[in-house]
Amino acid sequence: MKVSQALEQRKSVRAFLDKDVDDALIRKVLTAASHAPSGVNSQPWQVAVVSGDKKQDLQTKMEATFRGGEKGKMDYSYYPNEWISPYKDRRKACGLQMYSTLEIAREDRERQMDQWAANYRAFDAPTMMFFFMEDIMEAGSYMDFGMFLQSVMLSAVEEGLATCPQAALGEYPDLVRKELGYADNTIVMCGMAIGYEDESALVNSYRTPREDINVFTKFYK
């Protein structure tokens, strides 16, 4: 598979088959991704692979916390405090595309909540991963981490796996650290659902658009 093919095939999948992913395959994906670049080869990433009973226990606690009304708060600010165009417009279009595909009306708060709650179950994927970084690291390591996460997702595509990177899985970091035994000085960067795509699921039937490169690129000679 060409890199360009993996880039085009990768998408955020929100419905998975009830089919386990062998640990050996996860190891293969992470081994390939470990070749991602990082400043001075710092390799700041730490990964927890969660499945089986542990996943069930953790996702039950996360979803219960969400449904109990506790607002999640990540260890760092993922989104801007105030959205402006064009980012605000893209964000709105992204949400509308999913809800219109699922025929969830704006006033249907119950279905909206149920759809959002699925985040904390990693959309019922057989495995979810959590990504951690020690809090002594600075902004450059966030760039390194992004390259590592993309490498994980592209490697997964090559192995016939589907993924969904999820900021939502980092919204209850204290709970995640406690349940998985990570120290208080580790940042929960995000999570990721990984498994086999349910191609029949309606939620997987759409693709978000991408801007033409002329919108974000300037050439200088």
pLDDT digits (tens, 9 = 90+) for 130-145: 999 999 999 999 999 9
Q: Give residue 11's pLDDT.
A: 97
Q: What domain range is 66 assigned to?
A: 3-216
What separation in angstroms does the CA of 41 have from each of 2, 12, 33, 38, 146? 26, 29, 14, 5, 14
Any domain includes 77:
yes
Q: Give residue 178's pLDDT.
A: 98
Q: Give residue 19's pLDDT.
A: 98
Any domain includes 46:
yes
Residue 33 contacts residue 151 (beta carbons within 8 Å): yes
Any domain includes 151:
yes
Tokens encoding 10: 């990768």
Q: Give residue 106's pLDDT.
A: 87
Q: Give residue 21's pLDDT.
A: 98
Q: Give residue 91's pLDDT.
A: 96
Q: Provide the CATH number for the domain around residue 37.
A: 3.40.109.10
From the list 50, 26, 8, 16, the residue with the least C-alpha distance to 152 is 26
d(C-alpha 161, C-alpha 9), whole Å: 11
Any domain includes 221:
no
Mean pLDDT split into 10-residue runs, the chain, 221 residues = 94 97 98 98 98 98 97 96 96 94 92 95 98 98 98 98 98 98 98 98 96 97 97
Domain count, the chain: 1
Any domain includes 99:
yes
